Structure 1
Amino acid sequence: MTVDVNPVYEKLCPICGGRASVSEIKMYGSCRRCSTREKTVLNALTLHQVLLDEQREFNSFFQKITNGYKPWGAQETWLKRLLNNENTVIIAPTGMGKTTLLLAYALYASTRYQKKTLILTPTKTLAKQTYLKLLEYSDRLDNRRPKILYYDSSLSKKKREELLEKIKNGEYNILVLTNHFLIKRFDLLSNDHIHIVMIDDVDALLKNNKNIAKLLKLLGYSDELIEKVKEKHRIIWKIILSKTFEKEELIDQYIHKLIEIEEEIEELMRKTKKRQVIIASATGKMKGSNAKILRELLRIDVSGITIYGRNITDTYKLIDNDPSEINKILTTLGKGGLILVSPRHPFREKIDSIVQSIIKELRNKGFRVEEATPSNVKKFIEGEIDYLIGSSSYYGICVRGIDAPKTIRYVVFLGTPVFTVELDTLLASPNMLVRTALFLAEYYGENRYRRIACEIRKKIFTLTNSELRIISMLLKKKLTLNDLNNKKLENVYKSLEEYYRDILNDLKALLSREKVLEVNTLTFYYNGEKYVAMIPDVLTYIQGSGRASRLYLGRMTHGLSIIFEFHELSNLVKALDLKLSFYSGSRLFRELDKIDLEKELDEIISSRRNIDIPGSIKYKNILVVVESPTKAKSIAKFFGKPVKRKIGTVNIYEIPFVKNNEVYHLNIMATRGHIYDLTTNPKTPNHGIVFNHKEIQPHYDTIKRCRVCGHQFTYGDQCPRCGSRSYIDSLEIINVLRKLAGEAHEIYIATDPDIEGEKIAYDVYLVVKEFNKNIWRIELHEITLREFMKALERKRSIDEKLVEAEIYRRSLDRLIGFSLSHELWRKYGKKWFGAGRVQTPVLGWIIDKYNEYSRNKCRKLVFRVKDYPRIHLSICIPYKDRDLYDKLSSIGKARFKHVKTYIETINPKPPYTTDELLYDASRYGISSSTTMKIAQELFESGLITYHRTNHHYISSTGISIAMKYLEEKKLIEYSKPSHWGEPGAHEAIRPVHPLDRMDLEKTVAEGLINPIIPLTHLHYRIYDLIFKRFISSQMKPYRVLRREYLVELGEGYSEKLVLDVGIVENGFNLIVKPRVYEELRNILEFESDIELIVSRIASKTVLYNEGGIIKKMKNEGLGRPSTYAKIISSIARHGYIIRSKKRNYLIPTKTGVEVYGFLTSNYPELVSVETTRRMEEMIDRIACGELSCGEALTTIYGLIKEYKLPLSIIEVETSISS
């Protein structure tokens, strides 16, 4: 008989929020009870329907006031948030309809809900335009028209005073003001009158703390609430410092304080009258302490930088002081030129001279050329000016304040946009200090600087990122040693301060001679007064050049960008191009002389032809769901700097991009891992899995995570570990998923590409199924823009066979693990004891290896060969042979006799699988759990491919990365590309960029790559292992001269010693350096004094370390890449093994041996290697559809019942108490 598996989920029903099975959700869209009820109860689905109904009502209103136009895709997306009374940031260029929507919304809120709206604009001109448009729209309303006020400072004094009185008394429905009015006449505005605040050009209003403070008051936030938020930020900083200084008792204390103050903030927020804030641009940077408060209270971050799309030809031309070539090009290109001057450029005086020449020359030819002022910008947009000259400043009016797709055809940069940093400040970063020391080593060819770099690395090797920040602040003199109460950091600082002074002085001396130095993306310059580093300002360039290419009424205009840079500073353009390549995936800049200007002009003109006729614009609001916030931020950063939206405690990263003239508006959120797990409710039989006659029902509940100790649980309202009632429930994630699903056109679930990820995806699918019908699964095998775009094309449905495999694996772990663990509780009365289907046989191997180790004990002697001190001779003497031990211990000489010399070919190993990475990392003393955590972070930061894999296969993309690296390092002659087998579910673990460890460190130090999480020495060490293994796998073998010696130690005792004494032919040894004793190449026989350096009790059998036992698990077919580390951690947590201090060998405890003996004696069929291996094979068979999950679970259930193991915690507690 076929037994179906029908999981049951608590809180899944979208109507009552109660329990529902998968079959019910698929059949009814709700639980069975709600399917027969009248749909009048207020719930998630009816609220969703109410919102849709109101949206239809608004659409009719919108059509009426706009003479028949309907809201299009982007407007509909924004509207859902507005109608939901949500604080909203709208990011969109001109022509997307954001202003029209907001004015319509202000009128709708006024007439429908009698809400009063304040609209703040940056200029008087824009304020007046807004006012007139509101009047035009309101004239089309049949019912009572709202009272619209606009303060016009050009009116007579009497009329101004009348207006001010009306503003003071709140005699308006919609009030239009400039930012200047808010700042100067803030006292006239009462927060009692205002319900909605709309802000245009957020930078102008929120560029200082005082303005933000006024806005906070206007929004009705009390001084008490603001002070509480400040206190919260102070506590968070104290937690960071306490972690830095490893003060565990303080961390616990501050966490409790943080929980308390967050509860107080929430209570005050509930009492605060809510006002809706709508920000109509998101290209700003709020600064200061009040900015943090505003972000927290509004639950939105207005610091995003977004590029909707870009169709630009990026070019450059190197120049001297002669402006004639520039004039010639500007004349050829004609009107519509935006000319931007680099404000921080070191040759600014020369540029200013060129600008004056340009103005004179173009005016002589009859062109209209003016400098950028608000009035000239307007004239330029309207075609009354041919060329506009402004500043390439991020906040400049020409970079951010002009949206004129019809007018601006091309952008000319006079000097590359740059940041400048004084050398003293730049080198205060320890990583930048290392980078500069390496540059000086390369420049002078001196090892002294390389040694300094190594010394600094050693000093900062174990420092956390918080500690590095403190060192940097000390070097900048922002902190003093008196502020520090940490001896370790004090010693590091004192060492680094000396290196800092030396490197700074040496670099300044060099710059005084050379004037300009190029260090990859950094350009150092000395102007006779200041020593500065110049760093390309990528975002200003993108924003500025983007003025010539805008999405307008469904069309993307084509533009041209030209950077004119001086020959001496050509590195600025190279550096900008390199930085841009990390956004775009390829180099963008071409020499101006190598492009056809006439062809460019034709494309520029044709893309603007009939521009006012709306194009066929397409728009999709896409919800992307991943597991981790790190992955969410990494994906969002592919397209610019995202806007952060907060719903409850959940962050959503919002960013648009354009592909094939279609706007994709991404909302990316993380589930924070699984949202459901099997329940531990004692009333649910069989440890959460109900076996009925015709079906099996695993019962799932939402996961709660304790905010105090971090423990995860599913049942109850307090943490079972520490008793805290403060926890985060994944029910919040479910609610946010449903809200966002209702806003989206499509949902893409991009959880990890394995059965765990498939199960998370399936749970997300069940949660949002009734709110959105367009749900897709995508797989990301590396976190890169290229892979993300490919994944969108490879979308698929959820693979329910993979889901069943995960349900079987989890149910198997629960049934066997809980049953055996509870039996141990019953026998020993100790609730920390536990057992698992894989843990138990693995414990057995550790015990067997230890027994073998004990049987093969020996006395180990290690000698150093004095004439060749790199050679160590290791000897194991039988433990009981004391005479031989005494004899050899006193030996002072050894004779090395030549046996044979031969050439050996050494082949590279394949790139890493998970178990191989864990094995090698363990040899460096890094635990498997730490290695997996680090690898997960490297993957989510877009630095390596997916790290849970059993495959060695390398894709063509991977091979191209290796070839690019070898070519750059001039090692291409040693390449030997290999796929290492056929494609599997995943690739091997490999790097995503052609950057070795040192390249990566330089790239991060220079800001070319900005990982989402700070990289520590462990990240770099694991990355180095992965990179070297991968690159060597794509290289030729090397050939080595190998020699075998017979080493005679006194009379009657000799040992064989094999050494590599020379490289015959190079290959991958150029990357992974082997140990070669070149000094012995021509020495066949020799005699040398020897020195005993180690004498200890050892064994001929080597104990397992974590890597060794994982290798055994892989070879025996037990465990999976995702579970190797957890298995070892669980065995250690139960107290069954300990780790040796020096080498981290795994040693069984007396308890472990006793428990293992009990389990294998009484339940052999549940814990044997063979049974466990069969269970692992069943997971694969279920995933392939060869085996029924229900059938497999029924077999295991029968076996557990046969052994009469406890299937409920109640049975155990009853047994213990009796």
Structure 2
Amino acid sequence: MYKSLVIVESPVKAKTINQYLGDKYIVKSSIGHVRDLSSNQAKKRKNSKYSFSEYYEKKILIQQMGINPYKNWNVEYHILPGKEKIIEELKKIANTVDYIYLATDLDREGEAIAWHLKEVIGGDSSKFIRVVFNEITQHSIKKAFQNIGQINMHRVYAQQARRFMDRIVGYMISPLLWGKICRGLSAGRVQSVAVRIVVDREDEIKNFVSKEYWKLNINLITSKKKNIMMEVTHYENKILTLNNKKQVNIMIEKLKNQSFFITDRKDKILYRKPTAPFITSTLQQASSLHLGFSVKKTMFLAQKLYEEGYITYMRTDSCFLSSYAIKKARNYIKYFYGAHFLPNIPNIYLNTKDAQEAHEAIRPTDITITTIDQDKINSDAIKLYKLIWNQFIACQMKPEKYKSIIIKVIVDKFILHASENITIFSGWTTVKKKLNLIQNQFEDLIVSEALFLKKILPIQTFTNPSPRFNEASLVRELEKKGIGRPSTYASIITKIKDKGYLKIQNKKLYATKIGRILITQLKKYFTDLVDYDFTARMEKKLDQISDNKIFWKNVLNVFFKNFLKQFEQAKKPSEEGGMENNTIILTDINCCNCNKKMGIKHAITGVFLSCSGYNLKSKDRCKHTINLISSNDFNFIKKKYVTKKEIKRKCEKCNIIMDDYLINKNLKIYICSNSPTCIVYYIEKGKFDSPVYLSKKLYCEKCKNHMLLKTGKFGKFFMCVNQACKNTRKILSNGKVSEPKLEPIPFKDILCDKSDTWFVLREGISGIFFAAHTFPKSRETRSPFVEELAKFKHLLPTKLHYLADAPKIDEKGNKTIICFDKLSKKQYIASKKEGKFTGWSAFFIKNQWFISKKS
């Protein structure tokens, strides 16, 4: 009989912890949250029977939200769908044990899960014990169970306050946006601020006026034939400013016949300290920079590493390291790198003001594990682990020591400078394998030494706006402004991308038109909601609730009172000062179906032209639309960006740069960036470059009907006009239309292993694969072996014959299997032995197979 029940969130975490606890414990997983605010699907469906005004009646609104802000924040929780069996099992075990250890994560969300578990299991409250640990290791688990405690209700209150505010914003503003702007829109207390950051940067870039300036570099040669590149920095004791080619030519003429001598040389010994160990935001940024991982992928992989016991908890804003961890790192450095790499005292890193000191930075749990076996965890997780390992070891090493040499040349009225850094002691950069590619150019130079002119190099440059955000830099900006917390960064970015407010091109974030409209309206009618300082102050208040410095319901009351005042004004008709409606902007273009005027419409899928007869009664209704292609999207496809000197069209009313869209090869439309508030537009006729997908008509490969260009949540695509067919073809990043999808091919002679079914060959985003023919009843899938495709080559389309002709075995007789390269988007083959990849692979290049072996 078990005497104690331990509950964690994750099955993987449960499995890992179970290894370290004895027979007196049974470890079970809740698989995340078990309870949430009432909002089941039945209640959501009731929305359809309410009109816009009826929905906002107090009784109905409270029913939908599951909380009552008018009655001391009474709340109604419900068990999440699918968690009933889990709760039933936990209750059954709980009745047989003496103690119940709630070992959920150590952040506010984990504290709330622990409290919900206690509430739903019920029974004697003295049986429940809270236990937290920063890492899943035997050392940490043992220590945690020796330092048990109770649920921290103040942290639970902070989580509830955040959840209640988010629920109010989402459930009250979203229907308003649906009615005023377009269906599918929603607002979030923190997500909307993140969208605003990108929108503000978008406006800055769009309206940035680039200015020309020049740099003047001089290539000089020493007596020993060494090349020295120097920059002309001053003229007549002022910083040299060159704005055009004419000024540059004047300076070149003055420098041509001068004699150059080294006037001054300064040598300094400098130190570059290692950076702090990773916190959540810096890990996301480093992972993006060095590994190319998205924020969501980074956190997913970090979660796996944590649950498997390889790293400490990955949601933290603290640079603190335990003395135990520092001691282990110092011993490792001394043994493997040498005592001369070890500082006399450990390196200590200061936290930001709001960081939680009790948490540790992200580090390896066992410093002796330098890499992980690929059989235990996937290759991307291994790369992330190595990044964390390197950062942790480096942060406890001595600084890099280098000599900085600055050379100065004064000639006539000009001052030239050049500098070089020479590494003396690599220090922490040894771990990062940082290399200085150019060294010792200046080492032998002395004052008064003659230098000989080889070439004057004028460099034309233009000022640039601030760069676009990528996911990692957006996280850095959120952190800088005090918006969000480590546990929320990934979900914030994921939500605003999925909603269509941002799009990603070449890993950069662009605000969509509907995202800009949303922020414009929220800035006007819900100033607090998208105010940077207000959101940051609210985060601090949540921290104060956690620390029992302020009462949580007081914070909610103040928030709701101010929010309600703004909300009541926004929901009024626009003519009474309420939120403006997203009205159609009529143009001079006639509908080709009914000859009515076409109008500019803004929706969550983008900007398009719609017939003004769309909203008429069914008899006269016309559903004709014309897709508009943004020049930004087209320029990205062509990789031909607008030149700095190009003059962009401005709105005559707002005096801001207009958005331009291609209607067809002969028509372009310019729309004010402030549309639909501003109705100014211009139509330009001419011959314009157009994307590849507009160059010819496309026919459906299934039913031979025409295919029309459509715009969806994830971009533009072609759809068959035959509604019964429903065939689609996506548009690739290069502007070309994707190849037709492979129709499922039955392989009735190849049976599934896990069910009494047979396989069909399908094609997905990761190439071809076998799937059970009874999908989704049976979800069994696997990659085909080459020998299987070769045996049934007659079933395959011609485009897949090359795979059937690939080598069936490697040189050691191991069978080969079909694989997919995510970077090149091409199929290749690899061999397996006893279910594991051998390192042998082959690639199809120029109509033949080339074999590659792992070194």
- Assess same fold via TM > 0.5: yes
Alignment equivalent of 1:935, drawn from 302, 311, 323: 302
1:984 counterpart = 2:357: yes
CA distance in 2, matches of 1:896, 1:760: 72
Paired position in structure 2 for 1:229? none
Q: CA deviation at 1:838?
A: 1.8
CA contact (8 A) 2:310 2:364 kept: yes
Paired position in structure 2 for 1:1150? 513
Q: CA deviation at 1:1032?
A: 2.0
CA distance in 2, matches of 1:759, 1:1088: 71
Would the alpha carbon gap of residues 861 and 769 (structure 1) be closer, same or farther in structure 2, given more than 3 Å must change? Answer: farther
Would the alpha carbon gap of residues 782 and 1173 (structure 1) be closer, same or farther in structure 2, given more than 3 Å must change? Answer: same
Would the alpha carbon gap of residues 859 and 674 (structure 1) be closer, same or farther in structure 2, given more than 3 Å must change? Answer: farther
One-letter amino acid matched to 2:32: G
1:906 counterpart = 2:279: no
CA distance in 1, matches of 2:385, 2:91: 38
Q: CA deviation at 1:926?
A: 2.2
Q: CA deviation at 1:815?
A: 1.2
Alignment equivalent of 1:837, drawn from 189, 192, 216: 189
CA distance in 2, matches of 1:886, 1:840: 51
Q: CA deviation at 1:1000?
A: 1.4
Q: Once the two structures are superposed, what CA deviation does each residue of 1:817-862 show, in whole Å capped at 9, x if it has no partner?
A: 333333222222221x222222223333323334444526467999
Q: CA deviation at 1:933?
A: 1.4
Unaligned runs of 5+ in 2: 47-59, 234-239, 572-577, 583-614, 617-855
Q: CA deviation at 1:1089?
A: 7.7
Paired position in structure 2 for 1:402? none
Q: Secondary structure at the match of 1:1021?
A: helix
Would the alpha carbon gap of residues 1056 and 1133 (structure 1) be closer, same or farther in structure 2, given more than 3 Å must change? Answer: farther
CA distance in 1, matches of 2:227, 2:388: 31
Alignment equivalent of 1:785, drawn from 104, 113, 138: 138
Paired position in structure 1 for 2:471? 1106
Paired position in structure 1 for 2:659? none
1:632 counterpart = 2:14: yes
Q: CA deviation at 1:760?
A: 0.6
Paired position in structure 2 for 1:1033? 395
CA contact (8 A) 2:5 2:26 kept: yes
CA distance in 2, matches of 1:1056, 1:834: 55
CA distance in 1, matches of 2:273, 2:323: 21
**Structure 1 or 2: larger helix share?**
1
Q: Secondary structure at the match of 2:275?
A: coil
Paired position in structure 2 for 1:1133? 498
Would the alpha carbon gap of residues 905 and 692 (structure 1) be closer, same or farther in structure 2, given more than 3 Å must change? Answer: closer
* Superposed counterparts of 1:321-340, under 5 Å: none
CA contact (8 A) 2:230 2:418 kept: no
Alignment equivalent of 2:33, drawn from 674, 680, 689: 674
Alignment equivalent of 2:198, drawn from 843, 846, 853: 846
Q: Secondary structure at the match of 1:815?
A: helix
Q: Once the two structures are superposed, what CA deviation does each residue of 1:427-484 show, in whole Å capped at 9, x if it has no partner?
A: xxxxxxxxxxxxxxxxxxxxxxxxxxxxxxxxxxxxxxxxxxxxxxxxxxxxxxxxxx
CA distance in 1, matches of 2:248, 2:483: 42
CA contact (8 A) 2:12 2:307 kept: yes
CA distance in 1, matches of 2:174, 2:226: 56
1:1072 counterpart = 2:435: no
Paired position in structure 2 for 1:916? 282
Paired position in structure 2 for 1:1183? 546
1:765 counterpart = 2:118: yes
**Structure 1 or 2: larger strand share?**
2
CA contact (8 A) 1:738 1:771 kept: no
Alignment equivalent of 1:665, drawn from 10, 16, 24: 24
Q: Secondary structure at the match of 1:770?
A: coil
* Superposed counterparts of 1:269-308, under 5 Å: none
Unaligned runs of 5+ in 1: 1-76, 78-619, 640-656, 658-663, 705-728
Q: CA deviation at 1:765?
A: 0.7
Q: Which protein shows a greater Rg?
A: 1
Would the alpha carbon gap of residues 779 and 1055 (structure 1) be closer, same or farther in structure 2, given more than 3 Å must change? Answer: farther
Q: Secondary structure at the match of 2:95?
A: helix
CA distance in 1, matches of 2:302, 2:219: 40
Q: Secondary structure at the match of 1:1204?
A: helix
1:685 counterpart = 2:61: yes
* Superposed counterparts of 1:586-601, under 5 Å: none
* Superposed counterparts of 1:52-131, under 5 Å: 77=1
Paired position in structure 1 for 2:164? 811
Alignment equivalent of 1:1000, drawn from 342, 365, 371: 371
Alignment equivalent of 2:79, drawn from 688, 702, 714: 702
Would the alpha carbon gap of residues 761 and 1047 (structure 1) be closer, same or farther in structure 2, given more than 3 Å must change? Answer: farther
Q: Secondary structure at the match of 2:420?
A: strand
Q: CA deviation at 1:632?
A: 1.2
One-letter amino acid matched to 1:672: I
Q: Once the two structures are superposed, what CA deviation does each residue of 1:879-908 show, in whole Å capped at 9, x if it has no partner?
A: 98576899999x99x999776332212122
Q: Secondary structure at the match of 1:986?
A: coil
* Superposed counterparts of 1:22-33, under 5 Å: none
* Superposed counterparts of 1:535-934, under 5 Å: 620-638=2-20, 657=22, 664-680=23-39, 681-682=43-44, 685-686=61-62, 687-691=64-68, 694-704=71-81, 729-770=82-123, 773-831=126-184, 833-854=185-206, 855=208, 857=210, 881=244, 900-924=266-290, 925-934=292-301
CA distance in 2, matches of 1:760, 1:1087: 73
One-letter amino acid matched to 1:1199: N
Q: What is the TM-score of this pair, normalised by structure 2?
A: 0.55
CA distance in 2, matches of 1:1122, 1:1201: 28
Would the alpha carbon gap of residues 636 and 973 (structure 1) be closer, same or farther in structure 2, given more than 3 Å must change? Answer: same
CA distance in 1, matches of 2:251, 2:119: 72
Q: CA deviation at 1:1108?
A: 2.2
Q: CA deviation at 1:635?
A: 1.3
One-letter amino acid matched to 1:635: I
Q: Once the two structures are superposed, what CA deviation does each residue of 1:1119-1144 show, in whole Å capped at 9, x if it has no partner?
A: 10001122222222232223341xx2
CA distance in 2, matches of 1:637, 1:887: 77
CA distance in 2, matches of 1:702, 1:1052: 80
Q: Once the two structures are superposed, what CA deviation does each residue of 1:304-330 show, in whole Å capped at 9, x if it has no partner?
A: xxxxxxxxxxxxxxxxxxxxxxxxxxx
One-letter amino acid matched to 2:77: Y
CA contact (8 A) 1:625 1:670 kept: yes
Q: What is the TM-score of this pair, normalised by structure 1?
A: 0.39
One-letter amino acid matched to 2:494: S
One-letter amino acid matched to 2:378: L
Percentage of pairs with the same residue: 26
CA distance in 1, matches of 2:227, 2:365: 40
Q: Once the two structures are superposed, what CA deviation does each residue of 1:525-556 show, in whole Å capped at 9, x if it has no partner?
A: xxxxxxxxxxxxxxxxxxxxxxxxxxxxxxxx
Would the alpha carbon gap of residues 958 and 944 (structure 1) be closer, same or farther in structure 2, given more than 3 Å must change? Answer: same
Q: Secondary structure at the match of 2:74?
A: strand
One-letter amino acid matched to 1:846: V
CA distance in 1, matches of 2:261, 2:11: 60
CA contact (8 A) 2:198 2:509 kept: yes
CA distance in 2, matches of 1:1137, 1:1052: 52
Q: Once the two structures are superposed, what CA deviation does each residue of 1:83-117 show, in whole Å capped at 9, x if it has no partner?
A: xxxxxxxxxxxxxxxxxxxxxxxxxxxxxxxxxxx
CA-based RMSD of the aligned residues comes to 4.4
* Superposed counterparts of 1:437-516, under 5 Å: none
One-letter amino acid matched to 1:835: A
Q: Secondary structure at the match of 2:28?
A: strand
One-letter amino acid matched to 1:994: I
Q: CA deviation at 1:789?
A: 1.0
Paired position in structure 1 for 2:781? none
Q: CA deviation at 1:1166?
A: 2.4
Aligned residues: 532
Q: Secondary structure at the match of 2:3?
A: strand
One-letter amino acid matched to 2:472: G
One-letter amino acid matched to 1:638: Y
Q: Once the two structures are superposed, what CA deviation does each residue of 1:55-105 show, in whole Å capped at 9, x if it has no partner?
A: xxxxxxxxxxxxxxxxxxxxxx2xxxxxxxxxxxxxxxxxxxxxxxxxxxx
Q: Once the two structures are superposed, what CA deviation does each residue of 1:12-60 show, in whole Å capped at 9, x if it has no partner?
A: xxxxxxxxxxxxxxxxxxxxxxxxxxxxxxxxxxxxxxxxxxxxxxxxx
Paired position in structure 1 for 2:730? none
Q: CA deviation at 1:909?
A: 1.9
